[in-house]
A = this chain, B = another copy of it.
């Protein structure tokens, strides 16, 4: 199953140096999820030739404009392109009013149903469960109510050990049980075919966590423990550690520390301050703490693996 993240915007509050405001497109098994939607997100989607009509879920972390100013433009384009499918938006209370006021003044009745689900920033919550994946929101500490998002693959069907099946002539119904991870019992309730004998050990389900915006906060480690890929904001370098604390942002080094504490696979840095034209020092800082750190680059797709 495909599981990948395409970065659409990697800058912080002000678009600059050719970098845009926060947005990411997640493809998990051909389900398309948009996380945050800074200004010009729809323009980025077009630029990178991503089929944005297939986005069914949008997740907004918080109501600083650089995380949602592109949302109305995207909704408007869905409408003008005659979308009819449901669009679900998860975000903080207030986002619904921002949308509603603008639809009212443009006298727009959308062609498609729009469902708004308010996020609750006090604790971790399961907010979406689909066939192949789940999405959780969890609290981040920032100047406004803010949540991160955790996208988890669900365990799939098990892979069968073909040689064993041929040896034993396992019936079709039993094979389906084994793939689903259920032992097959005989009439007396004893195990006839055991999952462990006929299937390869399951692959660990993959997961991706998005943490932006947040101050350095070890309390978020339990929410993101062991994810394959972590996106963590790194607005500043350590030259601006005090400023990061004052504005409830993180430095690249702090992002590396969180990645290290949470034993994640890879760390993707982003939400870079406009003061940094060149980002190599930011990357170096994170790598001194957590070697598997990478800079987010717009238009680049990162595998969750």
Q: Interface residues, chain A, CB within 8 Å of chain B?
A: 13-16, 20-21, 39-40, 42-43, 46, 63-66, 69-70, 72-73, 76-77, 80-81, 92, 94-95, 97-98, 101-102, 104-107, 143-144
Contacts and interface: CB of A to CB of B under 8 A. Distances in A.
A42 B15 contact: yes
B15 A43 contact: yes
B40 A43 contact: yes
Copies in the complex: 2
29 contacts: A13-B80, A14-B42, A14-B76, A14-B80, A15-B42, A15-B46, A16-B46, A20-B43, A21-B73, A39-B40, A39-B70, A40-B40, A40-B43, A63-B105, A65-B73, A65-B76, A65-B102, A66-B76, A69-B72, A69-B76, A94-B104, A94-B105, A95-B105, A97-B101, A97-B105, A98-B102, A98-B105, A107-B143, A107-B144
A73 B107 contact: no
Given A39-B70, A40-B43, A64-B106, 20 more contacts: A14-B76, A14-B81, A15-B73, A16-B46, A20-B43, A39-B39, A39-B42, A39-B73, A40-B40, A65-B72, A65-B73, A65-B76, A66-B76, A69-B72, A69-B73, A69-B76, A94-B104, A95-B105, A98-B101, A107-B143
